[in-house]
Amino acid sequence: MAYDFKKLEEKISGIAKHFEEEIASLRTGRATPAILENIRVEAYGSSNSLKNVASIITEDARTLLVQPWDKALMEKLAKALESSNLGSQPIVTKDFIRISVPPLTEERRKSLQKVVKEKLEEAKISLRKGRDEVWKDIQEKEKNKTISENEKFRLKDQMEEKVKKGVEKLEELATRKEKEILE
């Protein structure tokens, strides 16, 4: 009997995608729209991501431009950007808000590296939880005599291989981000 690892594969893929999105928002020395995208803005009676109410453009390596789709939100956007702890004062003009991204200090780089490692560990824990669920299911199938003991261990090896590849993907993403932070 073939075991369906589709749920596990989807979970691994989802964890990797979530991890990648989380670390994308960590500021490196370069200005990238990802550092602003998820800043929350009070607009139209609810809290929205900045990316849902404005376009974010990279002007140069150290400058971002935020252009609200509705000019009436300019003040609220500026407030949200000021309180976002970016280490930079937004400059408001008639049509857009300019954010200068200051260079990272050595201390800030080290703290960002620590954050990447923490987020990596959280992602690995999620991965292990997914693995445990599948392992319980496989053991249950053996207990109910729907698969043999040999089959159980063969499936366990397949499961472990998928999880190992998932961990390698997460570590590769983390290494790439840490390199970005140090540059």
Structure confidence by residue, pLDDT tens digits, 100-132: 877 778 888 888 899 899 999 999 999 999 999
pLDDT of residue 78 exceeding 60, the answer is yes
List, by residue range, all CATH 1.10.132.20 domains of the chain: 6-23+105-182
pLDDT of residue 30 exceeding 80, the answer is no
- HSE-up of 34 (CA within 13 Å, CB side)? 13
pLDDT of residue 95 exceeding 80, the answer is yes
pLDDT of residue 161 exceeding 60, the answer is yes
pLDDT of residue 116: 92
Task: Kindly state the helix (H) or strand (E) to which residue 91 belongs, with its residue range.
Answer: strand 91-92
Fold of the domain built from segment(s) 6-23+105-182: Topoisomerase I; Chain A, domain 4 (1.10.132)
pLDDT of residue 27: 67
pLDDT of residue 1 exceeding 80, the answer is no
pLDDT of residue 13 exceeding 90, the answer is yes
pLDDT of residue 48 exceeding 60, the answer is yes
Rg (CA), the chain: 22
Strand partners, 68: 54
| 160: Cβ contacts below 8 Å, ≥ 6 apart | 131
Alpha helix stretches (DSSP H) within the chain: 6-24, 34-37, 74-82, 106-143, 149-182
pLDDT of residue 138: 93
List, by residue range, all CATH 3.30.1360.40 domains of the chain: 30-100
Q: Which CATH architecture has domain 30-100?
A: 2-Layer Sandwich (3.30)
Mean residue pLDDT across the chain: 88
